Chains A and B, each alone.
Chain A
Amino acid sequence: MQSDSAAVAGPLGIVPEGGEVTSRTGGRNLALDEFLHSKRAIGGCAVVLLLVLFCFVGPLIYRTNQTAVNLNLANLPPGNGHPLGTDEYGIDVLGRLMVGGQSSLELGFAVAIASTVIGALYGAISGMVGGVVDAFLMRIVDTLLAVPTFILLLIVASMFSLNLATIILLLTLLSWPYVCRLVRAQVLALRSREFVQASTAMGSTRTRILFRHMVPNTFNIFIVTATFAVADSIYALSALSFLGLGPPPPFADWGTMLTNGVNDLFDSYPWEVYPALIVLVITVLAFRQIGDALNDIASSRSSVR
């Protein structure tokens, strides 16, 4: 058996085909314990928590008008009641970072959760049912994986006006196959294991097996992929905005803020570029640290058998 199961989803979101993940051998508490002992995981979580506070609680303390456009106040340098200056619409940049962060984080979490749930169920069912149905279902997944997500996203974005909800929907539709592949591989591996065969023998229904055995046993995979999905979706939206296909104003997210300021990269108004870039990188980095730490835990556990 190939044993590089460790590398669940790498930073590229790559899923090794035919990779097989070995079941957990201990209780979930052990995983939690390991997680709590991982400095990277704890650090990442702390940063994410701070970012959530900054974006969702920040605006309650630091109050700014994020809706009224006033071109006379556009592009003011930091200072004078605007700690990070104003942007090209005359809106306070610090306040915009908070509001924009709400969109970015909502996007990341929503896509991560939705795509993980869909992918996990699809993969589990496909793996459980097996046979022709499985083969057909997996070709659909392969199809979605054969064309880069970003390319499919561009096709749709070039034709439709997008908003946060539709972007979440789209990214979810395009991201779940990654999760699905992994979960299915895990299910296939589990199906042949004693405890599943035992419960089948004892007359458990497929649904019961799915939820009692399969889902808990694949939990670590989709936690890992979810953390990567958060980072990837925030990133995808920023790339989309950069190509001019993001949502219109007054929508703000870190990616849009970044691309609006890009023309001022070389001179002029650095405060319209770098703050957004820094929070974006920190966020993506934090989620990837968490994912990577989890990945390491999964990896060390599967190799010790």
Chain B
Amino acid sequence: MRRTHRLAAAAAALALTTLVAACAAGGGGTVGGGSVVKGQKIKGGTVTIAEVGASPNDIFPLLPATNSNGYNGTFTFGMWPWLVYSGDGAKSVPNPQESLYSSLKYSDGDKVITIVLKPWKWSDGVPITSRDFTFVYNMLKVEYNDWFDYVSGLFPVDVAKVETPNTHTVVLDLTRSYNPEFYTDNVLATIPLLPQHAWDKTSASGKVGNYDETKAGAKAVWNFLQGQGTKMGTFATNPLWKVVDGPWRLAAFQSSGYYAWVPNKNYSGPDKPVLNKVIWTPFTTDTSEMNTLRSGTSLDVASVPLNDIRQLPALKAEGYSVAQVPAPGVAEILPNFYAPVAGLLLRQLYIRQAMEYLINRKQIVQKAFAGYADPGNGPVPVLYGQQWDSPLEKAGGPYQYAPGKAIALLKAHGWKVVPGGTDTCVKPGTAPDECGAGITAGEPLTFQLLFASGTESFNEQNAAIQSSESLGGIKITLKSEPFNTLVSTTGTCNAQSHPASICNDWQIQQYGYNSYLMDPSGAGQFNTDANGNYGGYSTPEMDNLINATEYGSSDSAFFAYEDYAAKQLPLLWLPNESTVFVYKKNLAGVTPLNPFSGLYNPEVWYYTKSAS
């Protein structure tokens, strides 16, 4: 029961912390209805979606910094979509049809962005204008530190000036040049537009004004909206939240996480909902969700935890179809380059290479993840083979399972290799055939792998890694901790933080995966000062390659970065599990799923009169 709950929590927490919520639902794009349609389209109907561990608790789309609940993204996105709509079907590209902009132009050496908005309307009939953008900008400019999706140095801090030449044009004058692809995919795709004409007020009974135009006023509006955003009891009744621009509006909400969407009748976008109602019903544990699916009840769409994959045939017999979608992220074993002793070992590339050679990723995908996982060839997932995958990664990555190569590497660097036992350094020193800086004679090659408890597939994966690493004499001991404890005791360890006591207690760890937005950038993960660079990996070359992808404009920059990272092993790459889910056979339009906007796009779903 336990396992997936934790994983969901892990995924949700990590998703949001990387840059922005990976979870959100919304329009499905023109390529949305990919599943084979049999039978006639039925207008109306209700779909019930089951999710494990999902309980949103904040409706204001600009989440406060203290709220890490990833499900709030899924919850609000269908009502207030982002300026740039992430993902077109399963492709990691923006979906221009569903986006709020009609054109995005980068000029002045990619320092100025001209955004032209579509002539769409809010649900109360008022047009969406550039003023709605400045409303968001004005609040964030004052309160960015209290905005969960704020990434150090990026929007709104990197904006020198915002101009609105007319009601549907916004001109952003940035403080530096960016790679347009990066900025569109990973920055503009995190900003919603909000209804200034309805929300620009400082109390429930107060009048709407232009309060956001002063610093104090913006603060007051922000505080008011944030406060209203946490009042679960009034989510479905508060007049504020009735003004939406997405395909859905909220009809019911319970603090348990149960909620219902009904169509926004005035939705301006291309995909007007066909269904009458979408109900989201939360399950605390995968066991109770699976039991319910198996008992022939009314759940129409449900995620299936990996531990329950073996029940898929039975679910098919109950009238469900199965689909899977790869997670946009990278799973890893995180090395702590600043751990006492172990950090010295981990700084040696050849040791990281030997460790990666000894991870049987193919076997882990098949056995621990039942085939539903990305192989983890490098920093970018390859399962959906898209424009971001370099030929090296597509070919399996630089270090495929090869115990022989691992042993040869260790021997070549002065280690006495004892398969099944523990290797020891016999040639200390810094010459190419010696163990490396700081490693003393007789030093054993052993690490403690700390991982998040309660997830069965993690248990299996890490037990298998322990077993296969021992083939090369690398001794791994396992220690698991509850996910939240693991997080609470893991600090970012790097040159600035060192020496920090929080970096002494862990050597290598595995907790889940780091999620990507559309652009699987290494920025924030592997560059020296990155907030997500917990292990303290740092090389000038990596920094340069990442900067080239973030600020440069070369097309080849990304592959150069990707291959360098794949070979350098700032993290030990691991398979990353996919999301598997089932849906009723007579429900069409569900696939392909869009992992960049919360998987589900119920506005393109409909029932068919089929004989299935």
Contact = CB atoms under 8 A, between A and B. Distances in A.
- Judged by CB atoms under 8 Å, the answer to whether A and B touch is yes
Interface of A: 68-72, 74, 88-89, 157-161, 242-245, 247-250, 259-260, 262-264, 266-269
A160 B1 contact: no
A70 B464 CA distance: 7
B453 A267 contact: no
A244 B467 contact: no
Interface residues of B, number: 37
B190 to A, nearest CB: 32
Contacts of A70: 467
B467 A68 contact: yes
Contact of B464 (A71, A157, A247, A259): A71
Given A72-B363, A267-B310, A244 B485 contact: no
A244 B2 contact: yes
B466 interface: yes
Nearest to A247: B480
A252 B229 CA distance: 46
B242 interface: no
Contacts of A267: 310-311, 314
Contacts of A250: 463, 478
Contacts of B484: 158
The list of the 10 closest CB pairs from A to B, nearest first, reads A244-B2, A244-B454, A248-B480, A71-B367, A69-B467, A69-B463, A161-B481, A268-B310, A249-B463, A263-B307
B453 A69 contact: no
A244 B363 contact: no
Contacts of B310: 263-264, 267-269
B146 interface: no
B368 interface: yes
Contacts of B131: none
B584 interface: no
A259 B466 CA distance: 22
B308 A263 contact: yes
Contacts of A268: 310-311
Contact of A245 (B294, B453, B460, B479): B453
B367 A74 contact: yes
B460 A244 contact: no
A262 B459 contact: no
Contacts of B287: 262-263
Given A68-B467, A69-B467, A158-B482, A244 B1 contact: yes
Nearest to B6: A244
Contacts of B201: none
A142 B168 CA distance: 69
Nearest to A163: B479
A161 B453 contact: yes
B558 to A, nearest CB: 34
B463 A89 contact: yes
A244 B7 CA distance: 11
A160 B460 CA distance: 21
